[in-house]
Amino acid sequence: MKIELDVNGKHMSAEVEERTTLADCLRYEFGLTGTHLGCEHGVCGACTVIVNGAAVRSCLILAVQADGDSVTTVEGLSNDDALTPLQASFRKHHALQCGFCTPGMVTTAHALLTHEPNADEDRVRDVLSGNICRCTGYISIVEAVLDARSAYGRDGQ
């Protein structure tokens, strides 16, 4: 089945099998391998992308369901040259070790701070509870997200 979608601001189309998940479509059809697949059944959060403004798990959406939608992957959240404030904050706080969970952490955090730039630590922890990091870097990840709030228009910053 042919699908057309907006991916990171570019119009893209692909001929996919109906059973193809959005995650596999992004990786294999579009070559956007920044989206990582950990569990493939909606538990680990590594495959999180932003569809029509909302953070969702791309392993739990069929590519054909996303036909006509606007998708932002971790590639769409980076600059060509310099780190974005959120990326720089992850680096500053050592918020990654092996890096496998990082794309999901970054997309989730970006969606959260876009909608809720004043999110407090409890809220950040609540939201990131949907993303598993097996290097156990949660403390530094939470610190990185909290520190990046100013770049998203947090009150008084």
Partner 1 sequence: MKLSPVRYAAPTSVEEAVALLATCDAKIISGGQSLMPIMAFRLASPELLVDLKKIKGLGDIVLDSEGLHLGAKVKWIEIETDVRLKTAHPLLTKAIEHVAHYQIRNRGTVGGSLAHADPASEMPAIAACCDAVISVVGSGGLRKINAADFFVGALQTRLEPDEIIVKILLPPWPATRRWGFQEFSRRRGDFALAGIAAYFDVEPDGRATNAHIAVFGASDYQRRLTGAEAELNGKKPTADTFAAAARAAAAEVDPPSDIHAPADYRRALVETLTGRALADANR
What distance in Å separates the CA atoms of residue 54 and residue 105, rounded to the nearest whole number?
14
CB of 27 to partner 1, least distance (A): 12
On the 0-12 / 13-18 / 19+ scale of CB atoms within 10 A, 75 is: middle
| Residue the block writes with tokens 């680096």 | 91
Q: Which of 4, 120, 121, 126 binds partner 1 (CB under 8 A)?
A: 126
Q: Which amino acid is at 94?
A: H
Nearest to 115 by CA among 41, 43, 53, 31: 53
- Part of the chain binding partner 1 (CB under 8 A), chosen from 12-20, 81-89, 133-141, 148-156: 12-20
- Part of the chain binding partner 1 (CB under 8 A), chosen from 25-33, 34-42, 89-97, 134-142: 34-42
SS3 of 96, please? coil
Q: Which of 60, 88, 142, 151 binds partner 1 (CB under 8 A)?
A: 60
- 108 near partner 1 (CB under 8 A): yes
Number of chain positions touching partner 1 (CB under 8 A): 27
φ, ψ for residue 79, nearest 5 deg:
-90, 160
- 121 near partner 1 (CB under 8 A): no
Residues binding partner 1 (CB under 8 A) = 1, 17-19, 21, 24, 40-42, 45, 48, 54-57, 59-62, 64-65, 108, 112, 126-127, 129-130
